[in-house]
Amino acid sequence: MHYLDHNATSPIRPESLLAVSHALGIGGNPSSIHANGRAARAVMEEARERVAALAGAKPDSVIFTSGATESCSLALFGAVEGSLEAENARITRIFVSAMEHKAVLAAAHRLAERFAWVRVTVLPVTADGVIDLEALRVGLREGKGRALVAVMAANNEIGTVQPIAAVSKLAREAGALLLVDAVPAAGKIALDFSLCDYMVLSAHKMGGPQGAGALLVREGAPLAPQLVGGGQQKGLRAGTENLSGIAGFGAAAHALADGEGERARIAHLRDHFETALKQAAPEAVIFGMEQNRLCSTSGFAIPGVRAETALIGLDLDGVMMSAGSTCSSGKLSVSHVLAAMGVEEKLAACALRASFGWSSTMDDVQAAVESLQKLRERMTQTSEAA
């Protein structure tokens, strides 16, 4: 089998699996003061240090959650609700890039429905898949009240790296808060938490287990808890922590800490894939190709080879990828990312994503290209016969 869907979930790394299994064996609650409780807490605090280190943050900025979706909601709802008490600093405007994950977009829109004074502006992106900084600059100048800006560090569908330092500068000049969704970027590019106020991470996108994530929060940034109860994690996210998930998350983050060699290897595989794809199908389009992209991600389309047909063909050949579109109620809807980039609907319906990670091999790359080439030939024969 050839797994090229690391941006959906990266298979668990052996060191992470070991950490999960060790944590499950502790049998203690991190809040308990007895020996097993202390052992559990030690595991959790080590993971906190490792996760924080990935973004150059202090361990006490880390709040463990159930994953990135929860972290996005906690950041957005928490920031708006947390700003209610602040005189003259109520968040009234939210700027989100059009290529954010639905976890950010849906939460932002829900906020605007819930709080009448919150307005959401969706910022355009270029045809190459990079946020339009000028639109942000202009937008931040207009309107009253504090703004919150949400821009991802890199896109999960096509891998384009976003200009976070420039976004941060604009946000700081306007006194706005900045939320960075670093889910696909973590471990692939250097992350600098000092540029933002909130940062979102997810364990299963980096070789950790599913169901564990983190929100990093700058000291002093507004944050109202969304889960209340036992007061865990300084009262900001109540509930007994998912110790095994957190331990696995920490181990994955640690494995990535000196991942220079791994990144170079993944980049080599991705580049080889794209070169071979272009040789097999010269008409193939690689989205955001001219931009700085994550080493792990290739968003592409072979015109005439529809994504749903391709996924079935690839699967029959043992190759696993994602479509660059989503299928809901039997109807294929074009990816909001590609739509925001102005990609024609007909081409977007052919969009696929190959995403590479720690377990990917050259064998996977070759199998994927061979399968795509077969599909293309079949499609060409079908359209010639028609």
The set of catalytic residues is 327
Q: How many CA atoms lie within 13 A of 65 on its CB side?
A: 25
CB 331 within 8 A of CB 345: no
Helix (H/G/I), strand (E/B), else coil: 81: helix
User: What φ, ψ does residue 326 adopt, rounded to 5°?
Assistant: -115, 150
Binding region for ligand PLP (CB under 6 A) out of 17-25, 67-75, 349-357, 370-378:
67-75
Least gap, CB of 101 to ligand PLP (angstroms): 3
**Shortest Å distance, C-beta 183 to ligand PLP:** 4
Burial level of 278, CB count in 10 A (0-12/13-18/19+)? middle
Q: In whole angstroms, what is the distance from residue 265 CA to residue 206 CA?
A: 15
Find the binding residues for ligand PLP in span 104-163 (CB under 6 A): 152, 156
Least distance CB 383 / ligand PLP (angstroms): 34
- Could you say whether residue 325 binds ligand PLP (CB under 6 A)? no
**Residue 380: CB minimum distance to ligand PLP, A:** 33
Quick one: which segment of 87-95, 120-128, 177-185, 277-285 binds ligand PLP (CB under 6 A)?
177-185
Site residues for ligand PLP, window 199-258 (CB under 6 A)?
A: 202, 213
- Residue range at the interface with ligand PLP (CB under 6 A); choices 66-74, 140-148, 230-238, 350-358: 66-74
* Burial zone of 128 (CB within 10 Å; 0-12 exposed, 13-18 middle, 19+ buried): middle
If you write DSSP's letter for every residue of 352-382 in order, what string do you get?
A: EEEE--TT--HHHHHHHHHHHHHHHHHHHHH
Quote the least distance from Cβ 133 to ligand PLP, whole Å. 20
Tell me how far apart the alpha carbons of residues 59 and 72 are, in angstroms, rounded to a whole number.
Answer: 19
Q: Which helix (H) or strand (E) holds 107?
A: helix 102-114
Alpha carbon dihedral 181, 187, 191, 196, in 10-degree steps, equals 20
For the record, the structure tokens of 271 come out as 């580049």
**Candidate ranges 89-97, 178-186, 256-264, 369-377; the one touching ligand PLP (CB under 6 A):** 178-186
Query: What is the spatial order of strands in the sheet that 351-355 belongs to?
Result: 285-286, 297-301, 351-355, 322-323
Applying CB under 6 A, which part among 11-19, 48-56, 138-146, 179-187 lies near ligand PLP? 179-187
Q: Of these, 2, 13, 50, 101, which contacts ligand PLP (CB under 6 A)? A: 101
Phi, psi (degrees; rounded to nearest 5) at 216: -95, 130
Q: Is position 183 an interface residue for ligand PLP (rule: CB under 6 A)?
A: yes
- Between residues 203 and 307, which has the closer beta carbon with respect to ligand PLP? 203
Positive or negative: CA dihedral 298, 213, 195, 151: positive
* Among residues 10, 61, 69, 296, the one that binds ligand PLP under rule CB under 6 A: 69
Q: Are 71 and 200 in contact (CB under 8 A)?
A: yes
Q: Checking phi first, is residue 320 left (phi over 0); if not, alpha (psi -120 to 50) or beta?
A: beta
Number of residues that bind ligand PLP (CB under 6 A): 12
Q: Which is nearer to ligand PLP, 181 or 364 (CB)?
A: 181
> Site for ligand PLP (CB under 6 A): which residue of 184, 250, 324, 357?
184
Q: What's the min distance (Å) between Cβ of 337 and ligand PLP?
A: 10
In the complex, minimum distance from the CB of residue 116 to ligand PLP, in angstroms, rounded to a whole number:
27
Among 30, 67, 187, 288, binds ligand PLP (CB under 6 A): 67
Nearer to ligand PLP among residue 30 and residue 209 (C-beta): 209
The site for ligand PLP (CB under 6 A) is made up of 67-69, 101, 103, 152, 156, 181, 183-184, 202, 213
